[in-house]
Every structure is written in structure tokens, then in C-alpha cells.
Amino acid sequence: MLQRNLSHTTTPPSAPPEGDDGFTLSAWLTNLDFNWDAATRGSRSLQFSKDETLFLEGQRASTVYAIVEGRVRLMSFGFDGKERHLMIMGPNGLVGDCGLLSTRNYVVSAVAASDTVVQAIAATRLLTALAQDATLMRQHQELSGRRFRIMLRHLALQGSNSSRRRVCLHLRDLVNSYGAPHEHGSVISIAFTQQEMGNICGLSRVSVSHVFTALERAAVIARDGRLVVVLDRDRLEQFATG
């Protein structure tokens, strides 16, 4: 019988191809195939500790950040004051740029989800670089399109979805975006925490832990170190859509 915790060498994580349909883009945007050198040359490098704030929604958007290492969690606040976690941006991502061409204020808040290194770009410099470099502009438009698709996914997940369904939907998106061959199925080749999953799903870490335990007992997923292996994609799909 397969043990819940697997231990052997897996395919190393690599930058995943992004799918063209609406179901293969996960809320974790990391290992992106983007290059912001045209805007970051000569910019200063900054370090943020886990849970440290980069900027807050509504503040003047004077600086944009290109992520070098680590991950940044983007969130917004509802009229009820509750946090709405939107996505997690990883290396080669860009944060702080969403309102530059409209309100000139940050339209979301950004908090380091892990110890993070960024390149700080003056907002005016980024706008100039985008206007002068067509390749950079196309790249920025592609990133903006991906973020918009993630927001549409969040809207689709609102409502009466159970905690199990929410977690399974995001696991499905993760394996579709970052899945790699594994001896027992498909391994999600980026590590993520149950707290991150809870933030994205609007659940507590404990609730996510309960769902993961149930999925392991049902032989739908297993652990391989810090990575999650999807053992049965068909059953995961059933749990995600049923």
C-alpha cells in the first residue's frame, strides 16, 4: 500500500508552460518566463521578511517591484474590512503596477509570503520603459492578462463552494500549471504552504489541513517532502467539480 509520505527523487521544479484555457492558470504565479532588465537596470535591491508589507491599497503608487527571490501575496479589502487574498506572485513577477495608468494609487496590498528580494523601480521609470520598449510592453500586457484571468477564477469560486471543493479546485489548477511526471502520478513542482492555500481559498490553515488529510486517506494526494503528489487526477477532478 502506498504510504502518504513518499520519498524518492522527483523531477526538479521548472518554469511551467501557461495554458490557453481558463483552467490551467493557478493563483500561484511563479517561475515566470519574464525579464524586466530594461526597467530594472541600476535599480536598488530590497529585502522583505516574511509577512512584511511592501505597500498598502490606496497608497500613492510611487514604486513598482520586480520579484527576484521569494513570493509576494496580493490582497484587497472588502467593504466589511475583511482581507481578500487574490494571488501569490513569485520570481520574475511584478507587483505594484496595476493602477499606474489609471488611479496612480496601489489598487491592492502586497505582503511578503516568504523572505523576499525585489528590485525597486520608480513608477515613472517603468512607464517610460514600457512606452519605449515594445517587447517590454507586450510582456507587461501578458502578465496583466494572466492576473485578470486569476481574478475571473476568484469570481467563479465565490458562493457556496465547500472547503473541500475550493481546495481541490486550486490543487487542480496547480497540477495543471506546474505538474511534472512522478512515479505515482503527477507532482506539483512548486512548494506551497497550507497557510497559503488557506489564504487563497478563504479558509483557515486548520480547515485546509483537514481537507488534505481526507484527500491523503482517500489516496487522491500524497506527500513527497515539501511537494504534493496527485495520485488520482480523475478523483481530484470529481471532488473539484462535484
pLDDT digits (tens, 9 = 90+) for 189-240: 999 999 999 989 888 999 999 999 999 999 999 999 999 999 999 999 999 8
Express each pLDDT in 110-126 by its tens digit: 999 999 999 999 999 99
Residues 6+ apart with CB under 8 A from 219: 2, 231, 232
Same domain, 149 and 181: no
Residues 125 and 186 in one domain: no
Residue 208 and residue 88 share a domain = no
Tens digits of residue pLDDT in 9-47: 444 344 444 444 444 589 999 889 999 999 999 999 999
Domain assignment present for residue 23? The answer is no
Residue 13, domain member (yes or no): no
CATH code for the domain in which residue 191 is found:
1.10.10.10
Based on the structure, what is the number of domains in the chain?
2
Print the domain residue range for 172.
160-241
